[in-house]
Structure 1
Amino acid sequence: MEKPQSVNEPSLPNPVLLATIGGAHGIKGEVRVKSFTGEPEDIGAYGPLFDAKGARYTVKSARLSKTVVIVRFAEVADRNHAERLNGTELFVDRSVLPREGEDEFYHSDLVGLVARRLDGEVIGEVIAFHDFGAGDILEIAPDGGASVMIPFTLEAVPEVDLDLGHILVEPVAAGLEGAVEVREGDAIEGEDRA
């Protein structure tokens, strides 16, 4: 049996998250997968996928079903195995992905960039990219305090500069201006704290 390759080994020097396995589907080992590819059912178009421990997953079939892709992996034979994969992240090496076009970015490219207001003031660092279904969201961690989430739209983030390592954020469009911070113990107008 072939030893699985690890995402930390040279075989995947630049791993990119391509999908996350959800729950099992049916009794024959199929799983529901949240795909991060442009066309969700193209999850197998880039060759085998690998989890963080290095296990290999080869897509035998993939079909779109509402908001997920139903995938059959060659390495998953039954429902019990499929159930154990819930939450597993799947990666490919960046070298197998198509080159980005202008104004296109891989999610992993954005994490770690410095977020700045249009005037240059630093907001914080992009720590995560989320897709909750209603649109792409960037999570930014300031130097102090809780992280903030902003929409990843052209209006809210008019510039992404990977070479300089930052994004520019339009504060009003991003929902950062006019927000009222309420600290614990502060009274909210009209709220009765009995």
Structure 2
Amino acid sequence: MTKSVSPVLMAVIGAPNGVRGALRVKTYTGDPLALGDYGTLYDEGGNPFDITEIRPSKNVVIVSFEQVKDRRAAEALNGVELFVDRSQLPDDELDEDEFFVADLVGLAAVDEAGEAIGKVIAVPNYGAGDLLEIAPVTPGGGFARKRAFLVAFSRTTVPAIDFDAGTLTLVPPGEIEARGDEADDE
């Protein structure tokens, strides 16, 4: 397969499990076992990974891939990210206020008055919840990737998302704290 036009990260391969090539895999699906429902997964280089067996195990799933025959092959895959093309994901199964995290990347971040703050360049999660990585707007109208900053992704910091307009409303943390102080004064 060639590289996906619109890849969506579904999982990250971890350490091997046993001697027959099974792997621990951290999934980013609502139901970890649903990883097997998306068909062939691909790494960043377009190499296919077909799941032959999947079972739960604590915080991960244990997965056997058709392409991985032994522990040595499994050891070489630690840290490999697995993707599907965005077109493989079922939009019709999402509730009104649900979306894929990958759909946030590329949205313009604006303040409550509609003024540009920056652009979402990533949505990392280091274990304590999703964050938005925002590249701020430069005076020339571009985006300063090197000056990107992180904000917690919550209803407080992002009260509105408009996918049709390609924007999300961002309330900077300093404004949230100021609002909290005002509420305490009343």
Normalized against structure 2, the TM-score is what? Answer: 0.81
Match of 1:83 in 2: 75
Match of 1:28 in 2: 20
Letter in 2 for 1:6: T
* Aligned-pair CA distance for 1:146: 2.6
CA distance in 2, matches of 1:165, 1:110: 9
Match of 1:59 in 2: 51
The question of whether the paired residues in 2 share the 8 Å contact of 1:51 and 1:88 is answered with: yes
CA distance in 2, matches of 1:130, 1:65: 24
Letter in 1 for 2:111: R
Residue 151 (str. 1) matches residue 152 (str. 2): yes
* Aligned-pair CA distance for 1:34: 1.7
CA distance in 1, matches of 2:36, 2:104: 24
Paired residue total: 168
Alignment of 1:66-145 (within 5 A): 66-99=58-91, 100-143=94-137, 144=144
Identity of aligned residues (%): 47
The question of whether the paired residues in 2 share the 8 Å contact of 1:22 and 1:31 is answered with: yes
Structure 2 unaligned blocks of 5 or more: 138-143, 178-186
C-alpha change, 1:176 and 1:88, in structure 2 (3 Å) is: farther
* Aligned-pair CA distance for 1:176: 4.0
The question of whether the paired residues in 2 share the 8 Å contact of 1:158 and 1:169 is answered with: yes
Match of 2:2 in 1: 6
Match of 2:141 in 1: none
Secondary structure, counterpart of 1:101 in structure 2: coil
* Aligned-pair CA distance for 1:83: 1.2
Secondary structure, counterpart of 1:130 in structure 2: coil
Q: Which runs of 4+ in 1 moved over 6 A?
A: none
Please, what is the CA RMSD of the aligned residues?
1.9
Cα shift readout 1:40-91 (whole Å, capped 9, x = no counterpart): 1211111111112221111112222222222111111111111111221111
CA distance in 1, matches of 2:130, 2:81: 19
Q: Structure 1 stretch 21-30 or stretch 144-153: which is displaced more?
A: 144-153
CA distance in 2, matches of 1:62, 1:160: 35
Secondary structure, counterpart of 1:45 in structure 2: helix
* Aligned-pair CA distance for 1:113: 0.8
